[in-house]
Amino acid sequence: MSSNKMYSIWFFVGVMLTVLGLIIVSMGIYYIFAPETQTRLASLNPSLWWGAIMLVAGLLFLIPSWIEHRKA
């Protein structure tokens, strides 16, 4: 009989943050090469920074919970 261990909720939070972070980072990179409008924060690239923060946070949730799931 096989034992199906369920994933932690933090695994799905990590997946969601990682996917959204990747989308926002890619849009930030796109706006570096093809800016559509000039705003006051355009030189700071907030979408690139916040996308990177979300990506790192998502990986910090995703990797440990995935490793814990694989152990059992």
What's the 3-state SS for 11-41? HHHHHHHHHHHHHHHHHHHHHHHCCCCCCCC
Kindly state the DSSP code that residue 2 receives in the 8-state scheme.
-
Per-residue pLDDT tens digits for 3-33: 678 889 999 999 999 999 999 999 999 988 9
As a whole number, mean pLDDT of residues 48-62 equals 97
Residue 1 confidence (pLDDT): 45
Q: What angle do CA 1, 12, 59 make, to 5 degrees?
A: 115
| Confidence band of 43 (pLDDT split at 50, 70, 90) | confident
pLDDT at 65 over 80: yes
Identity of the amino acid at 59: L
Kindly state the DSSP code that residue 5 receives in the 8-state scheme.
P
